[in-house]
Structure 1
């Protein structure tokens, strides 16, 4: 007990230093900009694309009904609706015949190709005939992610000039 009575000021100084550190410690400063490019791991964070099975269709229908009640446009354009098809030949490894094969299977936009899951890629590969294996070998889905976001700089850094 005599030790505490004689050295109470050391304890007070330690507590004071701890409080000063907590109050005045350096903080990380993060500046967010709108000009930063969206990278592949940042896409589709808000909602998964429509058309992913029964649950996805029910979710899309519920969103449409809620949008009508709130008078807000919530339904994204589905396959073939809205804008016309894009030039799929811009993807490295896709020529006119491969583009025709993709069109025959219902793929007209980069967004459609970018949204493919690994299971869908396997199923699609079986239907591509002479182009079997090209989606994964030429990393066409990854390329489509960049072009769907219109990230030309990211595409050219990763795959070369368009």
Structure 2
């Protein structure tokens, strides 16, 4: 009995596939060049973290909790303009984290420290107290902030 209806069955499957393709395909693809003006209804502002209000609330909660527990929250999110403080001789991962928690993420910030500011920051370094002057970290940061890797390597050794 199925042998009698198999041509109709194949025809029905073919029509169903054609209809599915016509109904489910993307309607229009528009790509804008960089020079095309963006109109207000075309902009899509994505939330910086998470998805929507629930994601923002979760991110805010983890930020606050991380501060109370002194836990490194969002270490996978790095600022685009932050420098790798581990390039400084005498700065390991823990000291780099401590400096970043104090607000130092760029070589320029460390290089611009005055002696009075160095003492203030040094008092906040805990177990790393005295490292800024002993390892000449401010001087190293000055070379790296200027991009003078040759001068740095002559003075402090290979990067």
- Taking structure 2 as the reference length, the TM-score comes to 0.50
- Taking structure 1 as the reference length, the TM-score comes to 0.49
Structure with more contact order per residue of length (Cα contacts < 8 Å, sep ≥ 6)? 1
